[in-house]
Amino acid sequence: MSVTVARQTELDRTRFFINGDWVKPQGTETIRALEAATGEPLGTAAMGSAADIDTAVLAARAALAKGPWGRTTPAERAEIMLRFAERLAARADATAQLVSRENGMPMALSPLANGAAPVGLLHMYARLITGIALEEIRPSEVGATIVRREPVGVVGAITAWNYPQLLAMVKIAPALAAGCTVVLKPSPETALDSYVLGEAAREAGLPPGVLNIVLAGPEAGAALVSHPEVDKIAFTGSTPTGRLIGAECGRLVRRVTLELGGKSASLFLDDGNLQTFLTGLAGTTFMNNSQTCTAQARILVARSRYAEVVEALAEHTRDLVVGDPLDERTQIGPMASEHQLARVLSYIDAARDSGARLVSGGGRPKNLDRGWFVEPTVFADVDNSDRLAREEVFGPVLAVIPFDGDDEAVAIANDSNYGLGGSVFTTDEERGIDVARRIRTGTIGVNYYALDAGSPFGGMKDSGIGRELGPEALDAYLEYKSIYVSADRL
């Protein structure tokens, strides 16, 4: 049973954060944000135009070329980043609640994803940038070479709605550490929480123009991607949009990082521990109501254990607590929007028509008559060629597929256009590691799945280009320059 949680009044976000100040939009378009759990109005936000994007990009360029940011040392940038982290930490509880109201993220996860993790990333990249040499001298055949790392320049960061604060900071933190300036375009589906970043940046003393935030839709996003003063695009979102961005960046010979969709597999081998697998579902499959790009919604099960696992999955999903994301007992909250709910329900209908066997869920929860809730749903006997096994649902709908032997399990896992996440469950860790090595995916866990901020994250195939997180992410925001000098420099 859900508890009644006190809710704030409506929020109005009618200005953009540009050049260190809150400025009026150049157009009149607005968007009404609705609360995922109730469908009721949450706030109103201004929507930016290409003209607003242009103003923000020019401010970012000026901060880099003329302002103090372009002359800062790594230590000076790190000091400002730590103040930025401090101001975000002071807002973390309120930010976590706001995001949960926007997109339905359960409060069991939101304080980490929208509070502690962004703060931690600022700390990590502040530490990393002060611990590396941005110049080194190497001997050459005719003298010496100064190998120098410089900021790539103005970064256009375009983020998705499912982890809005985390995805923004995954781009902002390494970009600031490298000495870049940023124009952030958040998703309209989470229209309100990005203002927290602007408020905290201003209080922290981030110089004007270093971070600019313009909420906008696809047309203004396209203007950001193609703007002549932008040097790099960092995008998290759908694969179709990523293709368009990648094509434009290729035409412009512009740096790009694309973190796109997934249809990852969780493999339960014949010696897997069932309780370990069921406990791990919170991180492998159901995290953030399965509105997660790494969600492992293809459950591949050894045929000798198939009936046992299907029955356990059905029982487990029926017992999950579905309800108000602000109730800390909730395990599955609502979908982020009415559109997203309709999308998830359409996949459930298609799976029914395909001949797959529905073993649990399959509709709206009977006790939740408002908001965008869907029951956690399990289909067994799914063929890997079915839509449910090929396409990203972005909701709690599982496709269970049997296999015979490790080779077939690997073949089915790899028979996908995507390659972002994955997991292998077995009581023999060496066997699990061997299977994991054979799967073409950017990240995979053995007996659990948990993102590691200190290691690179990204996808293969249609799941993207480039890597975020870890020290490797800094390279995406740095350019290498070779200066040929005399051997006297050695």
The owner of tokens 């293809």 is 298
Q: Describe the crossing of helices 218-226 and 50-65 by its angle, rounded to 10 degrees.
A: 30
> Whole-angstrom Cα distance, residue 446 to residue 449?
7
Closest to 300 measured CA to CA, from 376, 412, 441, 428? 412
Catalytic residue among 35, 189, 259, 375: 259
CA-CA-CA-CA torsion sign (203, 208, 209, 210) = negative
Residue 382, both tokens: 């799914």
Give the length of the chain: 490
Residue 65, both tokens: 């070329």
> Whole-angstrom Cα distance, residue 91 to residue 116?
10
- For residue 334, the one-letter residue type is P
Establish whether 408 is a catalytic residue: no
> Whole-angstrom Cα distance, residue 453 to residue 261?
19
The answer to whether 325 and 314 are in contact (CB under 8 A) is no
Closest to 249 measured CA to CA, from 178, 335, 158? 158
The answer to whether 180 and 152 are in contact (CB under 8 A) is yes
- For residue 363, the one-letter residue type is G
257-266 b/e (C-beta count within 10 Å ≥ 16 → b)? bbbbbbbbbb
| Active-site annotation, residues | 259
